[in-house]
Structure 1
Amino acid sequence: MVCFFTAAAVAVLGTLLLFLVTLLFSDGDVLLMFKTKFGKQPDSLAGKVVWITGASSGIGEHIAYCLAKAGCRLVLSARRIEELEKVKQKCLLIGKDHISESDVFVLPLDIVAFDTHKPAVQTVLQKFNQIDILINNAGRGQQAVWMDVELSVDRQMFEINVLGPVSLTQQVLPHMIQRHRGHIIVVSSVAGKIGPPHFRSYTGSKHALHGYFECLRNELDQYDIDVTLACPGPVVSNISLVSLTGKPGEIVKKQFTASNMRMATGRCAYLICVAVANRLYEAWISRHPSLVILYLNQYFPDLTKWILKKAGKLVVLKIRTHLD
């Protein structure tokens, strides 16, 4: 009996050590890292019709490149048609062995023009006859001290980051329900899981996304429709060029640069595509320290709240030092 408990203790300690070592060298949660090595790759999505919002730059743009390489038929949406056309041409170049001109469709869309969402869905269906995957990536950042944020900024962020994806999803779902198949992806954030300081409106909107779409997931099982919440941490992107502050109409106008705390945009997009291919419920995509904070928050929430209260501002300040 003593030998049994000794062996069990060694096994538990060994498993814990393996987990910690894996976590140390990871830029995503353990299940996601396992799927990158042994699960389905993005090329398993070949032939699927994938609609990507916010596809003109940043994570959405690079998701488009990854899926073009995989052989997906793409619908690219954002407000800036000129930028979408550039993304389309690069998609055709990257995916030249798998897709043609007719497989990439540019559809300008303002995510807060709610009355245009239903006609946009009909346009996509007229083009491809189906929508297999909807990637709700369109969104906006915001940075300001909590007390400096005006309520109108909260309202604007909520419409862009929450009600926009909710509205578009609601228009796409009848088609997926009728087919008894589909996949809804929402690009949330690490800020949707914890409460980093100085991101009041952004953090609040990302938390709201989890509430809306986790509720949806639990209603869709009978239709074989999955919902994936992707939670990227700091990524090299231009999000701060258009991020709001706490004042209406005021923009941060700064560019994130590469650092050891920021993930390359292409790597982030690839990991999101792996999460899509494997139909994961949720995917954490980040370098440290954000990734380890997510794990601490999951298993030691009170400790994490204390750490964020004491050191959260220092972490945010360090991240902000990598702005042009």
Structure 2
Amino acid sequence: MNFTNKTIWITGASSGIGKSIALEISKLDIGAKLILSSRNEAALNKVKNECVNSENIRVLPLDLEKYSTLKPKVSEALALFGSVDILFNNGGISQRSYAKYTSVDVDKRIMDINYLGTIALTKALLPHFITKNEGCFVITSSIVGKVGTPLRSSYAASKHALHGFFDSLRAEIYKHNIQITIACPGFVQTNVSINALTGDGTPQNKMDTATKNGLTSENFAKKLLPSVKKEKQEVYIGGFKEVLAVYLKRFTPNLLSKIIRKSAVT
């Protein structure tokens, strides 16, 4: 997989990881065309203007929470450049609240955005990839998609669900030459914790210490793109302790549980 002359669609592109992916690909100057999506059209246009070769970039606002509207958005995306080759499923929302204090409405909203929105967009684009007999889905999950931690029960559930869906889909569409890469970030310096939902659905409105001390989104993007090119099925990008947790979960789950209970994860 390479990005040369490809049409690449990025959700959650108005800030954070999505924005950095767009900027990094545009810097490669390899003829790639970009479609930038999120709810915030004004912010998307700012990202477009920051990119190299902005004439090869289009803005397509969408709302993952309104997943019933995403099939027509795929038609709009295909009309922009005539095709889509790679979809970065990056849009989503996080959580900072204990399960016992979290409204079921908040649980549902997180699942609607992170899981149902992502798979609805994927399913809507899938026939195009099958017809072409090629394509690539890149999914931004999380280390929390492998290891659940306090204050993130619904967020962890939505990310775990993505792994189940895309692992199954990968097996189903293998014969169509469609690649699936699941990226699991650790702490990354974005607004994810600021926008994270609390138990009643209001944003947390502050940045976690761990997020503030995490990788920059630019560094994350630079590490992610080579993994997509190498067609890795799953990649963990974060600090040593965050990545180590994935392997502790696999080989010594009881030890990891003790560590999580004693650790500060905010």
Are 1:47 and 2:1 matched, yes or no?
A: no
- How does the TM-score come out when normalised to structure 1? 0.78
Q: 1:65 aligns with which of 23, 27, 32?
A: 23
Gaps of 5+ in 1: 1-39
Q: Check whether the contact 1:258–1:264 (CA below 8 A) recurs between aligned residues.
A: no
- Residue aligned with 2:73, SS: helix
Q: Distance in 1 between matches of 2:195 and 2:210?
A: 18
Aligned-pair distance for 1:259?
7.5
Matched to 2:224, the amino acid is: I
Q: CA deviation at 1:256?
A: 4.7
**Is 2:168 the counterpart of 1:215?**
yes
Shift of 1:261: 4.6
Q: Distance in 1 between matches of 2:257 and 2:168?
A: 25
One of 168, 173, 183 as aligned partner of 2:136:
183
Please report the RMSD computed on the Cα atoms of aligned residues, expressed in angstroms.
1.7
Q: Does 1:89 align with 2:49?
A: yes
What's 1:279 paired with? 231
2:152 matches 1:171:
no
> How far 1:100 moved relative to its partner?
4.9
Deviation at residue 241 of structure 1 after TM alignment: 2.1
Q: What residue in structure 1 maps to residue 185 of structure 2?
A: 232
Unaligned runs of 5+ in 2: none
Q: Alignment partner for residue 206 of structure 1, among 140, 156, 159?
A: 159
2:2 matched to 1:78? no
Deviation at 1:46, TM superposition (A): 1.9
Q: Is the 8 A contact 1:237 1:257 kept in 2?
A: no
Counterpart Cα distance in 1 of 2:154 and 2:210: 25
Structure 1 residue 306: Cα displacement? 3.2
Deviations 1:36-90 (A, max 9, x none): xxxx8xxx41211110000000100001011111232100000111000000001
Q: Give per-residue Cα distances to partners, 1:125-164, cap 9 Å, x unaligned.
A: 1121111100100000101112111111100100000000
Contact 2:193 2:211 in 1 (8 A): no
Aligned partner of residue 139 in structure 1, secondary structure: coil
AA aligned opposite 2:252: F
Query: 1:236–1:256: 8 Å Cα contact kept in structure 2?
Result: no
Q: Which residue of 1 aligns with 2:61?
A: 108
Asked whether the equivalents of residues 67 and 112 of structure 2 are also in contact (C-alpha less than 8 Å), the reply is no
Q: Distance in 1 between matches of 2:92 and 2:210?
A: 21
Instruction: Percent identity, please.
Output: 38
| Amino acid in the other structure paired with 2:119 | V
1:3 is matched with: none
